Each structure stands twice: as C-alpha cells, then as structure tokens.
C-alpha cells in the first residue's frame, strides 16, 4: 500500500480514506505564520473555511509514548490548531475525527462528530495497540453526540470530557483530568461575537446589494424607459434601508447583544434597526428631501430585514435553544411578510404619485 496518504496535516482538502501507514504524522504545538493567517481567513471567507482541513486519524504531538494522553479533535484545521496550541508543553496523541471540515460543536450537532465516528477511529487507528491505558479525552462540546457509555462498551476506552476551551487543558491535566465548574461553561464574550460578524455582514450585504440593483430598475421605470433621475430618490431610500438593516442585524445586534433590551432576537433586531436607520436618516441631509411614502417604506424595510438578520444570529450564539427560535419565528415570520408587503405598497404609492396618477 502507498505510504503518502499519511502526509502531515495540510490546509488542503483531504479525503476521508483511512490512514494506511504505520507511523502517525508528527505535529508541534506552535503556530506558524500560515496557521495564524489561516485562522483569520476562516473568519472572512466561507470557501476557505469549508476546505480548511486536516487528515483524519492519529497524530503525534511532540513525542508521545504508550502512556501519553489521547485527545480527540475534529478535522476542521482551526479546531485542530487551537487544540495543538492548548497542549503546548505536553507530549500527546491527537485522534482526529472526520467531521467534513466542521468544528467540534457544530459537527456534534450535525452528527459527524459522534459515538460511531469515534469508535471507528479508535478501532482503525489501532489505538489499543498504541497506548497501554484505556482513556480518551473528548472536548466537552462534543458531548451532545458522544455517548461515553457506548464508547466504553464498544471499544473499552473510557471517555473523559475535557474543558470547553482548549486554553484550559493544561490546568485540567495538572488537576488530574478535573475541570473547574467555570471551565465547563461556554461563555460568549465580545471578542468571539466580533469574530463572527464578518460572516454575518458579508453574505447579507451581498444579497441586499442585489435587491437594491433590482429596485433601481423598478424606481427608474417610466413611460420613456428607465430614467436615472426618477430612480435616484427611491434608490437612495433603498440604500439607506439596506445599509441600516445589515448594520443593525449583522453587526450592532451581535456586538451589543447583552445590552439590547428583550430576550427575543427579533425584538432586539427591531430596536437596533430603528436606532441605526434613525441615526442614518438624521445624519445625511439628502434623507430630508425624500417623499413621505419612500421614507416610510425605507424605515419599515430596514426594521423588517434588520430583525430577520438579527434572528438568524441565534444560529451562531452559545445560548439559544431551537424551541425558542421556533417560538420567535411563529410570530416573526408573519410580521416580516406584513412588513415587506406594506413596504411594497408604499413603493407603489410613491411610483403612482411620481407618474401623476395619484
């Protein structure tokens, strides 16, 4: 069998074929320049992030022996890298599961990081022949889909759930594989919320730019074709609304999350949107020249779309439940449809006024 399937972890996409050579690849705890750059790129490019992977299977960190600890990770390279860095100073084994390049917590939710895959990797990597002890340390956030009891029954390996954050691993190891209550709770600090905002802002801004382009044509529509002068006020109103919605829903709501009143993300989004659209309208003089129908449509559209983008952020947070999201949406979705419908009616009213029909 060929041996080059076991090349060191790389940023390239790798297939899920099991490792076939005797020696697991060796890695270090240090981050290189390209590791640091990769960690940033993951936060801004979806395409890059979805292909940022390491080879599944067993890896050596430093020079582990038969009694060294075994840590389990995902094959999303950023997850693997954060674990490596957290293990600085230790010699350990890292068992990488094939999670299709998704991080531990999300993969546990989707099902790729789980009991079956862990059992398979323990067996295929012949872990029982590599180490003399019978224990693997699984990240706590993998627990939604890893049944410690079933892993033990099927492989003989006991599962210890490590701390939530890799930076606490050394303290956890020094305490004899014991985590303090604080190490068990996932926090959601400003820094983490900020890291998530580019992937909120960019996709929604892209979609809204398209909507504004279409609206430009609609607003310019007249008996003589599409007129730029006719399109201008409507396009300004649409741009203000789009800008406010993205800023409020994708940036202000995540960043100011704990300080915006209400627990409902839809309502947080409404408040943030009103504040942002108000601030924009108040600060640019041209806004005051807009006809009332356009102004009203602009505010209503901003609030509706801003709230929708905000409620989507629940998927990124560390504390929202699916039951809660469903409850919010049962009320919010009909409200969004009404908001969009009334905005459209206001735009039609404005166009009829422009054509002199009304």
Binding region for other proteins (CB under 8 A): 46-47, 50, 102-103, 106, 108-110, 140-141, 143-149, 161, 164, 179, 181, 184-186, 188, 199, 203, 257-258, 263-264, 308, 311-312, 314-329, 333
Q: At closest approach, how far in Å is the CB of 108 from other proteins?
A: 8
Nearest Cα neighbor of 27 from 103, 123, 91, 113 is: 91
Q: At closest approach, how far in Å is the CB of 141 from other proteins?
A: 6
CB of 210 or CB of 322, closer to other proteins: 322
**Dist. CA 121–CA 146, nearest whole Å:** 13
CB of 5 or CB of 199, closer to other proteins: 199
Q: At closest approach, how far in Å is the CB of 35 from other proteins?
A: 22
Q: Residue 79: enclosing H or E segment and its boundaries? A: helix 77-86
Nearest Cα neighbor of 318 from 204, 168, 196, 170 is: 196
Nearest Cα neighbor of 317 from 201, 197, 206 is: 197
CB of 103 or CB of 298, closer to other proteins: 103
**Dist. CA 164–CA 63, nearest whole Å:** 25
CB of 56 or CB of 162, closer to other proteins: 162
Q: Residue 244: enclosing H or E segment and its boundaries? A: helix 228-246
Tokens of 317: 């947070």
CA 12 to chain centre: 21
Q: At closest approach, how far in Å is the CB of 235 from other proteins?
A: 27
Q: At closest approach, how far in Å is the CB of 12 from other proteins?
A: 15
CA distances from 199 to 47, 202, 204, 210, 253 (A): 11, 6, 9, 18, 14
**Dist. CA 241–CA 338, nearest whole Å:** 17
CB of 85 or CB of 150, closer to other proteins: 150
CB of 33 or CB of 330, closer to other proteins: 330
Residue 138 burial (10 A CB sphere; 0-12, 13-18, 19+)? buried
CB of 68 or CB of 140, closer to other proteins: 140
* C-beta separation of 96 from 54 below 8 A: yes
Tokens of 134: 């019978």
DSSP state of 226: E
CB of 31 or CB of 188, closer to other proteins: 188
Q: At closest approach, how far in Å is the CB of 298 from other proteins?
A: 24
Q: At closest approach, how far in Å is the CB of 202 from other proteins?
A: 9
**Dist. CA 346–CA 238, nearest whole Å:** 12
Q: At closest approach, how far in Å is the CB of 208 from other proteins?
A: 15
In this structure, the number of other CB atoms found within 10 A of the CB of residue 268 comes to: 26
CB of 3 or CB of 184, closer to other proteins: 184
**Dist. CA 119–CA 149, nearest whole Å:** 12
Q: At closest approach, how far in Å is the CB of 249 from other proteins?
A: 11
């Amino acid at each position: 069998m060929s041996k080059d399937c076991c090349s060191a972890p790389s940023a390239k996409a790798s297939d899920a074929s099991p490792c076939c050579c005797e020696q697991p690849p060796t890695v270090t705890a240090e981050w290189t320049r390209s590791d640091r750059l990769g960690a940033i790129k993951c936060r801004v490019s979806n395409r890059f992030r979805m292909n940022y992977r390491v080879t599944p299977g067993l890896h050596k960190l430093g020079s582990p022996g038969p009694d060294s600890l075994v840590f389990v990770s995902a094959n999303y390279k950023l997850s693997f890298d954060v674990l490596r860095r957290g293990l600085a100073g230790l010699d350990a084994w890292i068992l990488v599961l094939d999670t299709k390049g998704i991080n531990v917590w999300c993969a546990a939710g989707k099902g790729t990081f789980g009991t079956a895959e862990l059992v398979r990797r323990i067996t295929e990597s012949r872990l029982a022949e590599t180490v003399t002890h019978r224990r693997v340390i699984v990240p706590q956030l993998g627990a939604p889909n890893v049944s410690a009891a079933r892993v033990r029954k099927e492989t003989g390996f006991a599962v210890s759930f490590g701390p939530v954050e890799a930076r606490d691993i050394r303290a956890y190891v020094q305490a004899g594989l014991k985590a303090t209550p604080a190490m068990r709770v996932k926090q959601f600090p400003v820094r983490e919320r900020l890291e998530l905002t580019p992937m909120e802002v960019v996709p929604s801004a892209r979609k809204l730019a398209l909507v504004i382009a279409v609206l430009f044509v609609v607003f310019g529509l007249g008996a003589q074709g599409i007129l730029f002068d006719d399109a201008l006020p409507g396009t300004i109103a649409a741009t203000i609304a789009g800008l406010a919605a993205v800023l409020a829903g994708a940036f202000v709501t995540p960043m100011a999350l704990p300080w915006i009143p209400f627990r409902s993300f839809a309502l947080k989004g409404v408040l943030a949107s009103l504040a942002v659209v108000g601030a924009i309208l108040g600060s640019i003089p041209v806004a005051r020249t807009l006809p009332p129908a356009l102004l009203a449509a602009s505010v209503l559209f901003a609030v509706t779309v801003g709230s929708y983008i905000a409620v989507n952020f629940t998927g990124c947070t560390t504390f929202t439940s699916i039951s809660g999201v469903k409850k919010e949406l049962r009320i919010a979705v009909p409200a969004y449809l009404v908001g969009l419908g009334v905005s459209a009616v206001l735009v039609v009213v404005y166009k009829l006024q422009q054509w002199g029909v009304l």
